[in-house]
Copies of this chain bind each other. A is one copy, B any other.
Amino acid sequence: MRVPDIRVIAIPGIPEIKENDDLGDLIFGSATGAGLHVQAKDIFVVAQKIVSKAEGRLIRLSDCTPSPTAADWAQVYGKDPRRVEIVLGQARRMVRMEKGLLIAQTHHGFICANAGVDSSNVPPGIVSLLPEDPDRSAERIRTGLEIRSGVPVAVIISDTFGRPWREGITNIAIGVSGLHPLLDYRGQRDSYGQMLEATVIAIADELAGAGELVMGKTSRLPVALIRGFDFQPGSGSSKDLIRPEERDLFKN
Contacts and interface: CB of A to CB of B under 8 A. Distances in A.
Interface stretch (A3-11, A21-29, A66-74, A140-148): A3-11
A33 to B, nearest CB: 12
A192 to B, nearest CB: 6
Given A119-B194, A217-B188, A249-B103, A241 B166 contact: yes
A10 B5 CA distance: 6
A61 interface: no
A6 B6 CA distance: 8
A121 B189 CA distance: 9
Interface residues of A, number: 79
A63 to B, nearest CB: 19
Given A164-B164, A165-B250, A189-B218, A120 B199 contact: yes
Given A5-B10, A206-B171, A213 B190 contact: no
A213 B4 contact: yes
Given A3-B12, A5-B10, A212-B201, A166 B170 contact: no
Nearest to A5: B9
A242 B4 contact: no
Contact of A124 (B99, B192, B200): B192
Contacts of A242: 165-167
A221 interface: yes
A243 B172 CA distance: 19
Contacts of A123: 192
Given A182-B168, A190-B121, A200-B169, A8 B10 contact: no
Given A1-B219, A205-B168, A6 B213 contact: yes
Contacts of A113: 198
Given A164-B248, A165-B243, A191-B218, 4 more contacts: A1-B219, A5-B7, A6-B8, A213-B229
Interface of A: 1, 3-10, 12, 16, 34, 96, 98-99, 101, 103, 110-111, 113, 119-124, 160, 163-172, 181-183, 185, 188-192, 194, 196-203, 205-207, 209-210, 212-221, 229, 240-243, 247-250
10 A-B pairs with least C-beta separation: A168-B202, A4-B214, A206-B209, A210-B210, A164-B250, A6-B8, A209-B209, A111-B165, A4-B10, A121-B190
